[in-house]
Amino acid sequence: MPVEVRGVRPDGVGLLFRCRGTAIRLALYRPGRAVWQIAVRDKAWCPEESLQLWTHHPLGTPDVPTDARLAFPRGTEPDQELVIDGARVWGWCGHEAGLLRPAAAAPLFDRLMATVARSGGARSGLALSDRIQPDLTREVAVPAARSRARGKEGISISIS
């Protein structure tokens, strides 16, 4: 299962960290965009229909069902996004980001969050197209998976 983490910082900024394909992304959403997404179920419907029906409730909702999940509606574009292109940086050529285990993805998440902290975070005046380049100047160990550097357990690469 590919790594995906959703959260809200104490200041209300929403976070969506995903490792899919050859990209590692950290999307940031302005305060107020995060909601609880709750599945609407009716015993008269078949499961395929009910999976597509959702309702959104504000984060302050007192009785949130246990199957609720954090979502960021009102458009799919984040207010700010940081992207590590594994194809360019590590030579990934398929779905290596989706193969990362949580322990391998955690340092990348930390690195992206440090980049956000240095840049001032999700500022209210950001345009949707604003992107920040993460700092990968220190070494990062990533699994080789099916990259061009096959046969190695992991690759330690220094990016300048």
**Which segments of 21-135 are extended strands (E)?**
23-29, 35-39, 54-58, 69-71, 80-85, 131-132
Ordered per-residue pLDDT tens for the chain, 160 residues: 789 999 999 888 999 999 999 999 999 999 989 988 887 777 777 766 655 677 888 888 778 778 888 998 877 789 999 999 888 888 899 899 999 999 999 999 999 998 888 877 555 433 333 444 555 544 555 655 554 544 333 333 323 2
Closest to 124 in 3D by CA, of 35, 8, 18, 11: 11
